[in-house]
A and B are shown apart, each in its own frame.
Chain A
Amino acid sequence: MKVRFFVLWLIVGVPLLWGLSKTVQNALKLFQ
């Protein structure tokens, strides 16, 4: 159950963090 928990959250967490980082990178340009 713990492995499943880890894998499922990884499957949704990794793409979300990748998208977040890309958006933050772009958003920071507003203040440059």
Chain B
Amino acid sequence: MSFLDRQNTVAPPGYNRFLVPPAALAVHLSIGQAYAFSTFNLPLSKLIGLTKSAPDDWTLLQLGWVFSIAILFLGLSAAVFGRWVESAGPRKAMFVAALCFGGGFMVSAVGIAQHQLWLLYLGYGALGGCGLGIGYISPVSTLIKWFPDRPGMATGLAIMGFGGGALIAAPMSVALMDHFKTATSNGVLQTFIVMGIAYFIYMSIGAMTVRVPADDWKPAGWVAPVKPMKLVTNAHVEVNTAFGTRQFWLLWGVLCMNVTAGIGVLSQASPMIQEMFSGRVSAAAGASFVGLLSLFNMGGRIFWASTSDYIGRRNTYMVFFLLGIVLYFSVPTIGRLGSIPAFVIAFGIILSMYGGGFATIPAYLRDIFGTMHVGAIHGRLLTAWSAAGVLGPLLVNYIRQSQIEHGVPKAQAYSVTMYIMCALLFIGFLCNLLMHPVDSRHHFKSDAAAAGARRSAS
């Protein structure tokens, strides 16, 4: 299995660097399936009853935990295995991610066949979640090293794939279940087996084709700026050192607040538009609204991350927070005016910035901490995603429920939530405002340089 080792993935001279993004995309398009897992919830809740849930069938509440466990393990595995991913190299990491993600589907298929829910928690939740975490961070540092001139665009392209994965998985799952459906089965078991094999093969193609640049490689004609921008360093910070810096936790706050604001809306988008425009938006149109938001989420990833290469990372997040505050603040007014197009455009832009926040953060980390351990640092930062995944939906659901219990009409029950989102974005704005370069004492020094520094100090 030595062909998986980092040293065997170094690209030969003259290698076209644009061969690397498809490898990253193959992995991200696969693991992005996670966003479409809800497609399976209803069929899984009718495995015995088929047309309607039988008493022994799993409930939607029980099934909701499969996705939650997967996202929890995404954050945990990215944080725990980040250092290993850096040392093992992208090919081995992507292959392990393929084994975990494909294997997760297979273990879950056994759980479906035996009607054992814990096997779904273990399979798709824990094992698949590790595939998500390792797969998510594995191409990041490789892409940043291949595209030192356009790191935002490069990582944005890969992370766009995570948003795009759901667009493929949702119709594919429905088509497969329809294909395998019989009088005695709703086809979900066979769909899990096919998807497990397909994702393993697809991710393995990414793993086999990924290459890392030679240590001294640079794009032809590109010269690293001698005097980089204020917030861009040419130095490197080791992952454990970075974890203890103020900058890491400010960026954690930036990501957490940006994701919290978006994820809460995403989780409630369909009922929200139906309740705010009561009688004018059907359930089917509500589902279409969710699909439209997914497009903005995906498009925002490549658009904002590429834009950040020109206007800078901090300025990009400033736009997210300030424009987000304006848009969230205007939503209750838009609701009162009854303008559905303005509502869709406002949330489309908000969701584009939600996606953009995910896609721009690796390049921001590279600017602040350098390229040496950027993948591992990114892995630890993704715990902000896990926290936001709990905080966002909780805030939206809890505040809406509390408003309705206090007699506020459903159409206006989201107003307070929108103002709280403004407050969260303002906290993110402050975190971003406080960002400054890492003190040089935290910079990584090779053994020789450290010995030299000690000699000159004594």
Contacts and interface: CB of A to CB of B under 8 A. Distances in A.
Given A11-B205, A23-B295, A30-B344, A16 B288 contact: no
B292 interface: yes
Interface in A1-20: 1, 4-5, 8-9, 11-12, 15-16, 18-20
Interface centre among A15, A18, A24 (most CB of B within 10 A): A15
A6 B289 CA distance: 34
Nearest to B171: A22
B337 interface: no
B19 A23 contact: no
Interface in B67-104: none
B49 interface: no
| Chain A contact residues: helix, strand, loop or mixed | helix
B120 interface: no
Nearest to B36: A19
A9 to B, nearest CB: 5
A30 B269 CA distance: 13
Interface in B1-33: 16, 18-19, 22-23, 25-26, 29
B291 interface: yes
Contacts of B169: 19
A26 B285 CA distance: 9
Contacts of B19: 1, 4-5, 8
Interface residues of A, number: 20
Interface residues of B, number: 29
A30 B292 contact: yes
A26 B287 contact: yes
A1 to B, nearest CB: 6
B25 A23 contact: no
Nearest to A29: B288
B22 A19 contact: no
Nearest to B206: A12
Nearest to A32: B285
B26 A5 contact: no
Contacts of B294: 23
Interface in B291-309: 291-292, 294-295
23 contacts: A1-B19, A4-B19, A5-B16, A5-B19, A9-B22, A11-B22, A12-B29, A16-B25, A16-B161, A16-B168, A18-B168, A19-B164, A19-B168, A19-B172, A20-B164, A23-B167, A23-B295, A27-B291, A29-B284, A29-B285, A30-B285, A30-B288, A30-B289
Interface of A: 1, 4-5, 8-9, 11-12, 15-16, 18-20, 22-24, 26-30
Kindly list the 7 A-B residue pairs having the minimum CB-CB distance in the complex, ordered from nearest.
A19-B167, A19-B168, A30-B288, A8-B22, A27-B292, A22-B171, A12-B25
Interface of B: 16, 18-19, 22-23, 25-26, 29, 161, 164, 167-172, 205, 209, 281, 284-285, 287-289, 291-292, 294-295, 344
Given A19-B171, A30-B344, 19 more contacts: A4-B19, A5-B18, A9-B22, A11-B22, A11-B205, A12-B22, A16-B167, A18-B171, A19-B172, A20-B295, A22-B170, A22-B171, A23-B292, A23-B294, A26-B291, A27-B288, A27-B289, A29-B284, A30-B281
